[in-house]
Amino acid sequence: MDNNENRERRDEIFSKAVRAGKRTYFFDVKATKADDYYITVTESKKKFSEDGKFHFEKHKLFLYKEDFEKFAVGLYESIDYIQKEKGVYEGYEESQEVKETTSKYSTKVKFDDLG
């Protein structure tokens, strides 16, 4: 493979767009030069200037495989906390796919262990 093919492969391994109201979240799987995979999560929001023109404001997060489990556990614990405190938000219905993914990343960490 030449350099262009390598770069193209790194940039187009997998992508999932999730539209959520005024925001769109992009989950992109990419590869390092050593062919190790990582995920970028990009939040994109349409913003309008005073002259009526628009642009997209983007925020990006890089998530590496050694952090996948801790990230997933932290995300799900945070969601669970909000749901316990404020209730399940309107329109939320946990799919079987989400349940399977959640159980796949379960951990034995106890809050008492976190100090």
Domains and CATH numbers, the chain: 3-110 (3.10.450.700)
Q: Give 26-51 pLDDT, tens digit per residue.
A: 999 999 888 899 999 999 998 888 88
* Helix spans in the chain (H): 3-11, 68-86, 96-104
CB contact set of 96 (below 8 Å; sequence gap of 6+):
none
Closest CA to 68 of 10, 24, 29, 16: 29
Determine the Cα–Cα distance for residues 115 and 94; give it in Å rounded to an integer: 31
pLDDT tens digits for range 67-93: 999 999 999 999 999 999 988 766 656
**What is the predicted pLDDT for the residue at 24?**
94
pLDDT at 109: 45
Query: Could you tell me which residue, 96 or 6, shows the higher pLDDT?
Result: 6
**30/12 Cα distance (integer angstroms):** 7
Give the pLDDT band of residue 10 (cuts 50, 70, 90). Answer: low
